[in-house]
Amino acid sequence: SLSDRLTATFKNLRGKGRLSEADVDGTVREIRRALLDADVAVPVVRAFVAQVKERALGAEVSESLNPGQQVVKIVNEELVAILGGETRRLNLAKNPPTVIMLAGLQGAGKTTLAGKLAKHLKAEGHTPMLVACDLQRPNAVKQLQINGERAGVPVYAPHPGVSSEFDTPTGDPVAVARDGVAEAKSKLHDIVIVDTAGRLGVDTEMMQQAANIRAAINPDEVLFVIDAMIGQDAVNTAQAFHEGVDFTGVVLSKLDGDARGGAALSVASVTGKPVMFASTGENLDDFEIFHPDRMASRILDMGDVLTLIEQAEKNWDKGEAERMAKKFADQEDFTLDDFLMQMAQIKKMGSMKKLLGMMPGAQISRQQLEQFDERQIDRVEAIVRSMTPHERVAPKIINGSRRARIAKGSGVSVSEVNQMLERFTEAQKMMKKMAAGGGIPGMPGAGR
């Protein structure tokens, strides 16, 4: 029955007991869909969802959040943890230079990242040098030299020429890497960034070469660069590099595209390595320190919900909420007094536009939200206070002459009284929709 549904919805407000399978399932289903939409690899999604479910089941019911919100909160915490928790900073060598090696498939964004990272580190007061070890791809050395010039840092490269037709330098990338690091040391650069070659797909020869470079230069960091658009392939590629070269951190590139960053979760989850930087464009400044918490909300696509959850936890008044829940259970009873109280509660909770969407079970459109203005709450209050108790519980009786009297009493125009009563009717309709079982858009599990 209706009242059963509502009792279930507001069960959390009693702040007793534990989350049940029924509380958790709906939201977990939404989360699974959100992760798959974000292109998180299927096995990763499966494992993650199981982990979240296990933690959510048996969690103590929150006083301030409904079960859906509570599950979203757990999901977010788990996501942040997998992505590395805190932002991890580069490991700097005690005896400079700090050696940073880049690895990843061809086209992943290594050479671009080399320039970005050099520029970033230079701005932080370091004296980086770049080393060009991609001797396979035509123009790879030249590309790094251009990036180095833009970043204002020197580039160590093998002597050019030799392969006549393709402008491809020949030589041994391992030797170049070793010589480059020695050069950086002798010239007192405190950081050296070694760019390497990649292939279009995972390839044993490439992996062996990367492993050999690693062995030769003993880097302090090996950064695995992966294209955020790679999607489901992220797991296999990351695993291959994890086993073949072994890396210490992940850089997610091309995050300026459509990708929601599911690859970050896939890679971090299967390798246990933190994501450290994000590349967000072709220019050297399109570079960011990676923040696990921000990426978690990007992957979930629920940034607003998370903000609301935080605020709700801080501000939710349990007593008011319970009274409101009872009123919701019988929408016919929803009066102007309740409307007033709802306004006051919302006002207390913070930004009205955002928080209206949080009223338990409320279903409200973006357009409706836009129409609300926090300053109007005060005016609404004045208008309702100018009404008789009877008018407040039976607004239908408020005819023209009553409207004129109310307008006069509250110091507003009759048309403002009319507008306010329209808004009240809207709110009443909202209650009816809610009572009919609608959910909050974008808030899974909230509207059972």
Contact between 109 and ligand GDP by CB under 6 A: the answer reads yes
Residue of minimal Cβ distance to Mg ion: 111
Q: Which is nearer to Mg ion, 114 or 265 (CB)?
A: 114
Question: For the chain, first and last CA: distance in Å?
Answer: 12
User: Whole-number minimum distance, CB 25 to ligand GDP, in Å?
Assistant: 38
Q: Which residues, listed in sequence order, are joined to residue 326 by a DSSP beta bridge?
A: none
Binding partner of residue 280 among ligand GDP, Mg ion, none, CB cut-off 5 to 8 Å per kind: ligand GDP
Contact between 97 and ligand GDP by CB under 6 A: the answer reads no
Contact between 154 and ligand GDP by CB under 6 A: the answer reads no
Contact between 111 and Mg ion by CB under 5 A: the answer reads yes
Are 100 and 90 in contact, with CB atoms under 8 Å apart? Answer: yes
Contact between 112 and ligand GDP by CB under 6 A: the answer reads yes
Q: Which is nearer to Mg ion, 115 or 219 (CB)?
A: 115
Q: Which is nearer to ligand GDP, 112 or 168 (CB)?
A: 112
CA distance linking residue 434 with residue 190, whole number of Å: 62
Torsion of CA 171, 174, 176, 179, to 10 degrees: -140
Pick one of 107, 171, 437, 441: the residue that binds ligand GDP (CB under 6 A).
107
Binding partner of residue 360 among Mg ion, ligand GDP, none, CB cut-off 5 to 8 Å per kind: none
Contact between 24 and ligand GDP by CB under 6 A: the answer reads no
Largest CA distance in the chain: 97
User: Whole-number minimum distance, CB 206 to Mg ion, in Å?
Assistant: 12
Q: Which is nearer to ligand GDP, 279 or 342 (CB)?
A: 279
Q: Which is nearer to ligand GDP, 127 or 279 (CB)?
A: 279
Contact between 136 and ligand GDP by CB under 6 A: the answer reads no
CA distance linking residue 315 with residue 313, whole number of Å: 6
CA distance linking residue 148 with residue 116, whole number of Å: 9
Among the candidate windows 61-69, 107-115, 237-245, 386-394, which touches Mg ion by CB under 5 A?
107-115
For residue 444, cis peptide bond before it (omega within 30 degrees of 0): no
Here's the x/- map for Mg ion, 123-142, by CB under 5 A: it reads as -----------x--------
Q: How far from chain centre, in Å, is Cα 410?
A: 45
Stretch 278-307 residues interacting with ligand GDP (CB under 6 A): 279-282, 286
Q: Which is nearer to ligand GDP, 282 or 422 (CB)?
A: 282
Pick one of 253, 266, 335, 363: the residue that binds ligand GDP (CB under 6 A).
253
CA-to-CA dists, residue 160 to 38, 153, 167, angstroms: 43, 19, 8
Are 246 and 272 in contact, with CB atoms under 8 Å apart? Answer: no
Binding partner of residue 279 among ligand GDP, Mg ion, none, CB cut-off 5 to 8 Å per kind: ligand GDP
Contact between 202 and ligand GDP by CB under 6 A: the answer reads no
Torsion of CA 45, 73, 65, 438, to 10 degrees: -40
CA distance linking residue 403 with residue 189, whole number of Å: 79
Contact between 198 and ligand GDP by CB under 6 A: the answer reads yes
Among the candidate windows 26-34, 105-113, 327-335, 392-400, which touches ligand GDP by CB under 6 A?
105-113
Pick one of 111, 127, 269, 410: the residue that binds ligand GDP (CB under 6 A).
111
Going by C-beta distance under 8 Å and a sequence separation of 6 or more, which residues neighbour residue 176?
131, 132, 133, 135, 156, 157, 158
C-beta atoms surrounding 214 within 10 Å:
22
Binding partner of residue 220 among ligand GDP, Mg ion, none, CB cut-off 5 to 8 Å per kind: none
HSE of 136, CA atoms in CB hemisphere, 13 A? 16
Contact between 148 and ligand GDP by CB under 6 A: the answer reads no
User: Whole-number minimum distance, CB 122 to Mg ion, in Å?
Assistant: 20
Binding partner of residue 158 among ligand GDP, Mg ion, none, CB cut-off 5 to 8 Å per kind: none
Q: Which is nearer to ligand GDP, 31 or 255 (CB)?
A: 255
Q: In a 3-state reduction of DSSP, which class is residue 278?
A: strand
Would you list the DSSP string of 394-424? -GGG--HHHHHHHHHHHTS-HHHHHHHHHHH
Tokens at 168, concatenated? 């491809």
Sheet containing 191-195, strands listed edge to edge, beginning at the edge strand earlier in sequence: 155-156, 128-132, 191-195, 98-103, 221-227, 249-253, 275-279, 287-289
Please give the size of the binding site for ligand GDP, defined by CB under 6 A.
Answer: 18
Q: Which is nearer to Mg ion, 171 or 350 (CB)?
A: 171
Binding site for Mg ion (CB under 5 A): 110-111, 134
Binding site for ligand GDP (CB under 6 A): 104, 106-112, 198, 225, 253-254, 256, 279-282, 286
